[in-house]
Structure 1
Amino acid sequence: MDKIFWVTLVLNIFLFTFLTTSFYLLFSPTALSPPIKEERFWNLTIIHTNDVHSRYDQINSAATDCTKIQFEAGKCYGGTARHKTLIDRLRSESKNSLLLDAGDQFQGTMFFTYYGGEVNSKVLNLLGYNVTAIGNHEFDKGPDVLAAHHSRLTMPIVCANINTTLNPTFRKNIKPYHIFKEYDLAVIGYITDTTGGISNAGSTLSFYDPIPIVQYYVNQLREKGIKRILTISHNGYGPDKELAAKTYGVAVHIGGHSHSLLANDTTLPDYDLALGPYPTVIRNALGEDTLIVQAFWSGKYIGHLDVSFDKKGRVVNYTGGPILVDQSIPQDPEVQKLVKQWREPFDKYVKMVIGEAEDDYDQLNCQRGECTMGNLITDAMLESRNNSDVHAAFMNAGGIRAGLLKGNITRENVVTVLPFDNSLVEIKMTGQNVTDMLESVVSRWENKLSRKKITNLSKTYKLLTNEFVSNTGDGILPYPIETVPLGNVEVAVEDYIKSQYIIKPYLDGRIEDYSLIHEEIKPIDINEPIHFRYQL
């Protein structure tokens, strides 16, 4: 009996345990949920800006200060207060996001001219950028001012192709890439290797071809186990496409420098300026797709790209586009209050009306041929020396930073058009020198032939230009040339507008598109970075 009792007891305990365990497994919350599967893809929201050029208050379509009338007509764009609203909204909609800037926050308005970089630092910190690249205009006041700016920033600064060996102070805050450990992702930075010739970087810094350097750091990161890799560059749309095609291992290239609008939405007000789709898809050196994005300039648009990565760090899905920062996006009140405080020291002076434009002055075409803004500036330069024996004046397109809209012209408009505080200088060149210069500039980007308008090659001519050009800026002159300083280009233009008061834009054929009558001449490649075409 005892044996039968214990056997029965053991069987009952086993049966009870089995039934209760089975009931728990069948009806517990865990059992009712679908089985957990490992996620195949990882998602990231990329928010990006480039070439804001100190447009921290709202602007109009000419990228100058928006007036009360323009605001009431709903024609204002950008500004840090709207950026804050939009960036916060995009971040709130994404579990994983990065905010990146591709350089050239410096230069362009009184926010930089007056404060010399301090407000630029505050804006980047205020908006909470996760990483920033370096633009060529960040060197406009030299590497020491830029190093001070970097010391104030709360995010990493990345630039892989800059040699800082001779400038340890500058090197202290720069690194080739930054790893976001929480995302298992890295961002490599680089800048155009022409920076030494188009900026005030000085003799202690040098710049290298970014293509082999980017690939070197991609390989280094992959050896560390980092497979999700982005680049952030100030290199231009065309050069970025070349780099994307000649490298591998990068999922997305976030660009700047060429002020390129990439867009698919035909309803955008600037769609006719778009150089390609957003994103632009390039086959890399291994035949895999890599993406390129850029978001125009002046803060009028903010780039927004949602991407999905596979386990190998490749993009398997993407969606997004540039977001127009118009008046439908409210201004953050606290940030706008700050912007007004920053304006106070210079606001009254720069709002003084100095003249009136009968129609809009175009700046965008200065990169491609004759433009009304270029004609106004060179006319003003010549007028400043009206009683002298100067023969001509020429201006680099990269020095013309905005246009003018019909209506009142203020001092701030002139500062925004010509923000570099550039000296007006007189130089002497022979007819042969002038011809060689014109041939070199024209053949560099457009064609191999031009009409030679200089008939006396041995005669010495007096010409006006700016100090930047005379010192080989933008590569227009092959070597520095002796100058006679004459004042300031900005002052010459302001004085000219004051003297005329009412000015009217015009074209007179001073630059001719010779390709229209010579089919064998190679046309302009619109995908080349516009920063390196010239207005003569």
Structure 2
Amino acid sequence: MNKRIILFALVAALFVSCTTAKTSGASEVSIIYTNDVHTYINNMVKVDGNYVSGLRFSKIAGLVKDMKNEGKEVILVDAGDAIQGTSYGSFDGGFSVIDLMNATGYKLAAIGNHEFDYGADHFYDISKRAKFDYVSCNLHYIGKDGKHRDFAPYKIIKAGGRKIAFIGICTPETLTSSSPTNFQNENGEFIYSVDGCASEKDLYASVQNSIDAVKSKVDFCIALGHLGVSMGEIKGHISSADVIENTKGLDAFIGGHSHTIILGEKVKDLEGKEVLSTQTGSYLSAVGIMTLGTDGKIKTKFLKDYGTCDSKVAKLEDKLVDSINQVYGNQIAVLETKLDVNSPEIENQRLIRAQEMNIGDFVADSVYWFFNVAQGLDCDVAIINGGGIRTFIKDGPVTVNDMKNVQPFGNMVCLIKATGQQILDALEMGTTVTGEWDYEWNSPAENGGFLQVAGIKYEIDPSYKSSVKKDEKGMFVSVEGKYRVKNVCVFNKKKGAYEPLDMKKTYSLAGINYLLRNSGNGLSMFRNCDAIVDYAGQDYEILAEYCRSFIKDGTYARIKTEGSRLKEYKGYLIDYENPFGAGRIQILKK
């Protein structure tokens, strides 16, 4: 694999280019692209210590309009994960975001894994609302009659006297990173499949088949793929670079999924031709402009912001923001110390999916508090997947909207009966890449299923190679070798002490339905567990209630360690002022 060149400086005038196999005397074509917007329609950026309006759909619409007014040929596309991420999407299942994308002028989109978070049927309704096309060559739906009903694998768009084929690709991680039950029938059988789950070769074949079907008909062949370049994709050989290296005929790859900033990476395909690969990061931190030149060269650049807004799109944005503020915008508490998903020492280094963080403790504690204190039930352990904690909470006044943005999926909190062995297996499942380094991110390797916890503490020994065995859908099967998770202890509330986990004992385990009822992140060990309380309330609402439960100082509750009701449990590990948490998860040195 080529050494990747990831450029984090978003300089608008900087171009990276590759030469295609075809040339043409037709006019230049500009492809404007986004990825992993995650409904950040009210994008704010920090400038000189103050938050100001950043790049938004209205500015992208202004960019498109200005370029067209200059006589340029423009195609606007997205590489997936647009309709889920904040309250702006979750309050109506993404329909308003689709309306914004329609107004902005999108022509095409790849299908991201989070497009299914409101349910597969819901996404099909969403796709009908869209005035642009969704494409995927490797996502398949099997109807009751046994026949496949799929999205188009590609779309050919004519612009500037050219024919440009866009091949859609969906990540094989879709079936487990979105709720697995979304892809199953009433009998628990999968009625959806994604090529690449069983073998990366299936993914390569799907892409190659689409290339072969269109290559002779078009001037350019571009992959629009929701495939990342993080450690999980690289280890599974399903990254965008892997697809390029194992196919022939692509001219460029517009990617997403891993939220990586790749201005212009040149990756050689099976025939040794350099293919331009790019990805804009996430949350509208930048927009890409790819130029298909008249000389056959492909160039790309990024813009972090744009000065012109489209007034019609801006009105739609403002209306949506105002409506959300009316519902979720009231202050509920004051946070003393920032609760973060990122390292306080290295800017933009996300750690919530790799180690304990104070926001992980806080979110897990909210569920632990809810069942033990608010509901008066006995909850032994609470778990939350790091991938489900989407953003930080800044210090100062906090609102329900802040809680909704942390947990935007609309998951319900549950309490089940689980054995110590099942809990151990779940913790082990979350540590499959712990101790490895992701050189793309200059960060510890991530796993969305890494578990943040309450009522329990444990150690991870990364000197042992992970021996978790999964099935072809990514579901947990067994642990074949030594456990990396060790010295697991559960807090005894009556004794005020942590006691060793008993493999045969039944514990009361709390979490969200995504994990405990729907086998999210592959946690199939809980599939048949008995429920104590099912669907007790939405996660973000319980998080907000936990905020309100802190000791008041004046009008509002003050969120700090000493003000938590859980401090009443003598010996309970809790420290929200430490960005790395209270020491519930210890990662040993190799």
Letter paired with 1:194: E
Judge which range, 384-393 or 184-193, deviates more. Answer: 384-393
Supply the distance in 2 between the matched residues of 1:39 and 1:83 (Cα, whole angstroms).
28
Name 1:206's counterpart in structure 2: 193
Q: What SS does the aligned partner of 1:247 have? A: coil
The structure that is helix-richer by fraction is 1
Matched, 1:361 2:339: yes
Gaps spanning 5+ residues in structure 2: where? Answer: 1-22, 185-190, 197-202, 234-238, 342-349, 437-461, 467-483, 489-499, 551-556, 561-575
Letter paired with 2:508: K
Matched, 1:159 2:136: yes
- Partner deviation per Cα, 1:283-330 (whole Å, 9 max, x = no partner): 11111111211112122321223344766xxxx45342x3213xx635
Supply the distance in 2 between the matched residues of 1:49 and 1:112 (Cα, whole angstroms).
17
Supply the distance in 1 between the matched residues of 2:430 and 2:320 (Cα, whole angstroms).
40
- Partner deviation per Cα, 1:387-435 (whole Å, 9 max, x = no partner): 4432221111221122111211111111111111211111232222222
Say if 2:110 and 2:134, in contact at 8 Å, map to a contact too.
yes
Say if 2:37 and 2:81, in contact at 8 Å, map to a contact too.
yes
Supply the distance in 1 between the matched residues of 2:142 and 2:332 (Cα, whole angstroms).
48
Matches within 5 A, 1:431-446: 431-444=420-433, 446=436
Q: Alpha carbons of 1:212 and 1:172: their partners in 2 closer, same or farther (altered >3 Å)?
A: closer
Q: Alpha carbons of 1:398 and 1:97: their partners in 2 closer, same or farther (altered >3 Å)?
A: same
Q: Alpha carbons of 1:192 and 1:339: their partners in 2 closer, same or farther (altered >3 Å)?
A: same
The TM-score, its normalising length taken from structure 1, stands at: 0.76
Q: Structure 1 vs Structure 2: percent identity of aligned residues?
A: 26
Say if 2:37 and 2:282, in contact at 8 Å, map to a contact too.
yes
Supply the distance in 2 between the matched residues of 1:93 and 1:444 (Cα, whole angstroms).
49
Supply the distance in 2 between the matched residues of 1:45 and 1:451 (Cα, whole angstroms).
50
Q: What SS does the aligned partner of 1:100 have? A: strand
1:440 CA drift (Å): 2.9
Name 1:411's counterpart in structure 2: 400
Name 1:510's counterpart in structure 2: 584
| Higher gyration radius (CA) | 1
Letter paired with 1:192: T
Say if 1:78 and 1:298, in contact at 8 Å, map to a contact too.
no
The TM-score, its normalising length taken from structure 2, stands at: 0.70
Q: What SS does the aligned partner of 1:45 have? A: strand
Q: Alpha carbons of 1:59 and 1:431: their partners in 2 closer, same or farther (altered >3 Å)?
A: same
Supply the distance in 2 between the matched residues of 1:425 and 1:443 (Cα, whole angstroms).
25
Matched, 1:54 2:42: no
Query: Which of 169, 188, 204 is the aligned partner of 1:190?
Result: 169
Gaps spanning 5+ residues in structure 1: where? Answer: 1-37, 62-69, 263-277, 519-536
Supply the distance in 1 between the matched residues of 2:384 and 2:315 (Cα, whole angstroms).
38
Name 2:571's counterpart in structure 1: none
1:444 CA drift (Å): 4.9
Supply the distance in 1 between the matched residues of 2:71 and 2:252 (Cα, whole angstroms).
18
Name 2:515's counterpart in structure 1: 469
Matched, 1:234 2:226: yes
Say if 2:415 and 2:509, in contact at 8 Å, map to a contact too.
yes
Q: Stretches of 4+ moved more than 6 A in 1? A: 170-173
1:232 CA drift (Å): 0.6
Say if 2:142 and 2:149, in contact at 8 Å, map to a contact too.
no
- Partner deviation per Cα, 1:249-270 (whole Å, 9 max, x = no partner): 11111111122222xxxxxxxx
Matched, 1:281 2:266: yes
Matches within 5 A, 1:89-104: 89-92=66-69, 95-104=72-81
Say if 2:379 and 2:509, in contact at 8 Å, map to a contact too.
yes
Name 1:329's counterpart in structure 2: 307
Query: Which of 112, 137, 146 is the aligned partner of 1:135?
Result: 112
Supply the distance in 1 between the matched residues of 2:174 and 2:134 (Cα, whole angstroms).
17
Supply the distance in 2 between the matched residues of 1:355 and 1:324 (Cα, whole angstroms).
33
Q: Alpha carbons of 1:97 and 1:335: their partners in 2 closer, same or farther (altered >3 Å)?
A: closer
Matched, 1:373 2:367: no
Matches within 5 A, 1:57-68: 57-60=42-45
Letter paired with 1:250: L
Supply the distance in 2 between the matched residues of 1:351 and 1:441 (Cα, whole angstroms).
34
Matches within 5 A, 1:31-42: none
Supply the distance in 1 between the matched residues of 2:586 and 2:314 (Cα, whole angstroms).
45
Supply the distance in 1 between the matched residues of 2:428 and 2:88 (Cα, whole angstroms).
38
Say if 1:366 and 1:374, in contact at 8 Å, map to a contact too.
yes
Q: Alpha carbons of 1:289 and 1:91: their partners in 2 closer, same or farther (altered >3 Å)?
A: farther
Letter paired with 1:453: N
